[in-house]
Structure 1
Amino acid sequence: MPDLTIRTMQPEELTIAIEWARNEGWNPGLDDAKLFYNADPFGFFVAELEGEIVAVGSAVRYDAQFAFCGLYIVAPKHRGKGYGLALTKHRLAYCGDRNIGIDGVLDNVEIYKRVGYRPYYQNKRFQKRATAQTVSSKTHDIKQSHIAEIIDYDRQCFPAKRDTFLKGWLQQSQGKSVCVIENGEVRGYAVRRQCVEGHKVGPLFADTKEVAAQLFSALQQDIAGEVIILDVPESNPFAVELALNEDMEVVFATSRMYQRGLPDIAHHKVFGITTFELG
């Protein structure tokens, strides 16, 4: 193998990774580059060969115990040469002893097993045309005053606290964030972001399927007729039921895999994951 250099991605180079994702048909969000970077500025990498970027990938370290790898793409003309494996080993080393998660392409599950990942369930991408719906009076747009409580709620459903990332994610310019408040307490929240095609909802975290449905309705009301996408964990049967009740269809799936076991979170409250790239 010619000399391969693996280095930390510069902020402006993240747009290259997002463009590659677009070319792969992953339909990234319009603001994903800057928003992803907030999760871990040192967790994005390129593999470079004689000045040419041949592979990209992320390894976001959320805290001392948990990390998530994603955005892994090898340039088509350089596939099958070992560059991707070299980049993967570098990312795993960056994560250290943390439990690491990925959303692996189903065709590559056996490959991921060889580097220590174990599959636990599938995340299925559901899609439909949004419809105008009645919005519950308990549903509110997320304001600055809600953010601290949203961050606390999020920790029930995600394996690490992710304050910096969430502050940007909740307030992205081409998106919408809503929460349900009952008796003065947050019962769930959801974020919608505009993508190359349509809109993706994620996360969608809620105490019950009724609250989840209220949130999902609120995120459709102003984009009726446009494509809306929800990445649903099969580990929560009520989440699958929600998507089917909305007449959504499965268009893609990944295998959620971890290196050190299934995280101890409120899986029954996860109706839609945040992203395939960041967990």
Structure 2
Amino acid sequence: MQSLRFLNRLVHGFSCHGNRMATRSCYSIAENAELDKNPRIFKKWDDGYIVRSMTTEDAKQVQRWYADLGTTSRYDLEVIMSTWPRIPGFYIGEIDGEIVASATRVLCADNIFYGSMYYVDPKYRGKALGHRLKNEIAGGHIGKRILTVDAVIDTLAWRLPQLGYSYVFQTKRFDKDVDDDLATEPNYDGSIVKAADVSFGSFIDFDNKYYIQKDFPLRRAFLEKWIAVPGGRSLVAMDTNQNIVGYVCRRPCFQDNQHQIGPLYAEDAVTAKALLQAICTDIKGAKVTINIWEPNTASLDIIQTFKFNHVFDVKRFHHNGVPNDFKPQIFAVTSIDVMSY
């Protein structure tokens, strides 16, 4: 019943608790197309700076910014924007018609937003553009709900505790050129099949066990597209009784011959290792990237077995509370760009 009520809000519009904005700040998915044509302007400043809702075209520029910084999945922002209400959550800063800043706040559960895609064009830094977008506008929409961020370990990360954020653990990125060992068909007692070959309801039932909120309608809509992105691959592990015991997704990056893996959810390390091998059997010679929560030592052991390279770490912080987000069955998160669960 709770999920049905939430789905009704999703289609017809949210009621935003704790919102400080004077005008309507919660929309429905049905309004996304109109917001692409006529973005909602949240605020204009005297210096010409405008913060407004992000459009599909804006998202392409934001993805290019992130692709210039490092390995970036091609479809992450596109999928999330097509399955989530555009407001609250997707923001653009603009000066004289030029996009200069961005941020996203993805509603991952009834009471949890995931913050990412925070960027300011280097030409415009030092003018508090990011601060105004992130704190004055996006912060107003979040209200008293929890905000989760994975912060780059720099000056900002060290300042977050002073701003009331609670540090919990690091998320570690690894990559590797797929070699014979990683691309070998796994020796697995159960079976590994295409995600499209199993009931989507059963697939969601398994995801529900470990995602941050059970039966969250937005997660369901998101995964339905996530497992079918162009150039991607999604696999499911079944035990000998044909029960789902794990799944893994892979999607292509902007960078040539590179892919990101996630999520990788599994009941145990044996299944996780088999899924990691299986998802790489068709891309020998390509580079794969994976993001892992540091407390998951079983996942780190698998990464070490295949001699992945450590790329960087980000620090997981929460504001307005600390959800119980770590689960050992999450061997790789969905995406640190849009939904790090």
User: What TM-score, normalized to structure 2?
Assistant: 0.77
What amino acid is the match of 1:143? A
- Counterpart of 2:142 (choices 95, 100, 115) is 95
**Bigger shift: residues 131-140 or 212-221:** 131-140
Native 8 Å contact 1:66 1:99 kept in 2: yes
Structure 2: gaps (5+ residues): 1-45
- Counterpart of 2:260 (choices 192, 195, 200) is 200
Look up the match of 2:211. Answer: 158
Aligned ranges for residues 17-36 of structure 1 at < 5 Å? 17-25=62-70, 27-36=71-80
Aligned ranges for residues 1-279 of structure 1 at < 5 Å? 2-25=47-70, 27-42=71-86, 43-89=89-135, 90-107=137-154, 108-131=156-179, 132-135=183-186, 136=188, 138-143=191-196, 145-160=198-213, 161=216, 162-182=219-239, 183-197=241-255, 198-265=258-325, 267-278=327-338, 279=340
How far apart, in 2, do the equivalents of 1:46 and 1:101 lie? 20
Native 8 Å contact 2:166 2:322 kept in 1: no
Higher fraction of strand: 1
Native 8 Å contact 2:113 2:142 kept in 1: yes
Residue 221 of structure 1: CA displacement?
0.6
Other structure's SS at 1:62 match: strand
Residue 45 of structure 1: CA displacement?
0.6
How far apart, in 1, do the equivalents of 2:197 and 2:108 lie? 22
Q: Deviations over 1:37-87 (max 9, x none)?
A: 134241211012232222111011133211111011100111122111111
> In 2 relative to 1, CA 268–245 (structure 1 residues): closer, same or farther, beyond 3 Å?
same
> In 2 relative to 1, CA 56–134 (structure 1 residues): closer, same or farther, beyond 3 Å?
same
Other structure's SS at 1:163 match: helix
How far apart, in 1, do the equivalents of 2:322 and 2:297 lie? 17
Structure 1 stretches of 4+ moved >6 Å: none
Native 8 Å contact 1:61 1:95 kept in 2: no
Structure 1: gaps (5+ residues): none
> In 2 relative to 1, CA 217–58 (structure 1 residues): closer, same or farther, beyond 3 Å?
same
Residue 114 of structure 1: CA displacement?
4.1
Q: Deviations over 1:215-254 (max 9, x none)?
A: 1010111111110111111021111111111110101111
How far apart, in 1, do the equivalents of 2:153 and 2:177 lie? 26
Other structure's SS at 2:230 match: coil
Over the matched positions of the two proteins, sequence identity in percent amounts to 26
Residue 144 of structure 1: CA displacement?
6.0
Native 8 Å contact 2:171 2:291 kept in 1: yes
Other structure's SS at 1:213 match: helix
Native 8 Å contact 1:39 1:60 kept in 2: no
Native 8 Å contact 1:180 1:187 kept in 2: yes
Q: How many residues are matched? A: 278
Other structure's SS at 2:328 match: helix
Native 8 Å contact 2:175 2:289 kept in 1: yes
Other structure's SS at 1:58 match: strand
What amino acid is the match of 2:116? G
Native 8 Å contact 2:113 2:145 kept in 1: yes
How far apart, in 1, do the equivalents of 2:275 and 2:238 lie? 11
> In 2 relative to 1, CA 155–98 (structure 1 residues): closer, same or farther, beyond 3 Å?
farther
Which structure has more RCO (C-alpha within 8 Å, separation ≥ 6)? 1
